[in-house]
Structure 1
């Protein structure tokens, strides 16, 4: 399990560095909902308990870290899929080396980017006294593979792919944020940003932050540089 977490660090950053002390600290602070990696069993459980299983080149049953479990008020709320967990990691942690897949916008196919690095920043904004947030995400990497019908030998084509990737990622991130708001689970740390930037305002809303978070306006700004 420790080795699996080490491998996940490439795509999840410090989200894998979860310890009992860190969990206790987050629960005591109560400003960001807790997320913990979960393990799934792939294959029949009965075969996984047999010694022969681990002696095979390809075991019938394996353990895998698929995604993240989201807690609310110290209770399990829901599961993030592997795809959503990877997307969430981009918006939450500084990723140093992972692979990213985006859709081609005007035709069928996908684009694979490698050596992807991300730098997320959350800004607290005010609009007529109502708190709002801007999530900025700067992503760099290298073009690896293109399955859509497009000539990638020109600068214009690469620019088109980057623009398409920005639009696709921004759409996916917005969908994930809407999900967390509907669930009233601030997993990105918007409350933490308010606590640091405007502690007086945080003290006024902290006891009702889950409900406040579900209604705040969150803008996203994704910029790719490949």
Structure 2
């Protein structure tokens, strides 16, 4: 009897400690929020837009090979004095509980970004469901709500299309940045760095882009495209940059994976194309006589992607000249990018963090005036080493001398 009682008591104790399903949530009671859009209303309140998945329509569209079964997402909006209030107030419109564990995109309206992001990310960082790895973009020229409302043809859920475009564009082109909420929080909280984010715009007719017919045409009436980099200072959007200047910033941030450079040759513009295969940027701070300075060294290697002029790529001297021209091109992009940031008085490169690591005592004296006084006058030296590893199957292009 004692033996049986000794075996039963441990099991009884375990049963008492089991929590059971006290916190269970049925799938049919959850609304999966894939993306969140944030704007400001005319009366100063937050306008939150929630892109919620319609599971049946997503699965049906996949099985039927198109979007004939209905729109894959729905947009719900609500307003509030705070983001948490706007989120909870949305329960008046949604028949399910908003669930943020799968939220992977945050779109911030340009007007709100210019007004300031103070407090915007606080609720996201504290929320037990929200992931700080959610991607972050700025709606340029349109509201965040409009950006999330456009239906996309390839990826049925437009938030996924924006995320994948961000990822692949940074890897293959290098003029946009794959930033997330945690990246922005660190940039805002750090005295030696300001955040930079990618902008998204709407091309075409917004009204037609909201309709299902937009995904049933080979040429959609509206598209969501990436559009430049947004520079921030003290949590506020202060400037937009595009093109080579944006890529120059990506060089300094060490976020270039692959990109394509075109350089002139023998008097012809955009004559030689160069595709980078790998790149690395080192930023180092030095202090001389109490004055900080920065050296930026870029090292990259790649291949000749095209040659539109007669050139002998088998000649080592010619290849050496091409490498020097490529280095000059990269230094020019990077120098212009740094000058732009210095003119806007916003250190998006983290030069202040580098000075902090190199000279902690000096940094304590200058950190409060870093962006407005020291960074605009900072002496920055840029060097670049670019190597041509491969020239392709043809050393002499079939283009003949005229």
So what's the TM-score if we normalise by structure 2? 0.52
Cα distance in structure 2, aligned partners of 1:173 and 1:95? 12
Which among 173, 193, 197 is matched to residue 32 of structure 1?
Answer: 193
The offset of 1:131, in angstroms, is 1.2
The offset of 1:105, in angstroms, is 5.5
The offset of 1:86, in angstroms, is 2.3
The corresponding residue for 1:104 is 264
1:182 aligns with 2:374: no
Equivalent runs, 1:52-131 vs 2, <5 Å: 52-96=213-257, 98-104=258-264, 106-110=266-270, 111-131=272-292
1:218 aligns with 2:380: yes
State the structure with more CA Rg.
2
More helix per residue: 1
How many pairs align?
224
| 8 A contact 1:95–1:116 mirrored in 2 | no
Deviations 1:61-104, CA, capped at 9 Å, x for gaps: 211112211101110001121432223212212433x1221322
Secondary structure of the structure 2 residue equivalent to 1:104: strand
Cα distance in structure 1, aligned partners of 2:176 and 2:333? 22
The offset of 1:146, in angstroms, is 2.1
Secondary structure of the structure 1 residue equivalent to 2:302: strand
The offset of 1:126, in angstroms, is 2.9
Cα distance in structure 2, aligned partners of 1:62 and 1:79? 21
The corresponding residue for 2:334 is 173
Deviations 1:119-171, CA, capped at 9 Å, x for gaps: 11111123333211111111111111122443333222111111111112112
So what's the TM-score if we normalise by structure 1? 0.90
| 8 A contact 1:122–1:135 mirrored in 2 | yes
Give structure 2 stretches of 5+ with no counterpart: 1-161, 389-402
Cα distance in structure 1, aligned partners of 2:235 and 2:254? 22
Give structure 1 stretches of 5+ with no counterpart: none
Secondary structure of the structure 2 residue equivalent to 1:150: coil
| 8 A contact 1:15–1:93 mirrored in 2 | no
Cα distance in structure 1, aligned partners of 2:205 and 2:175? 31
The corresponding residue for 2:369 is 208
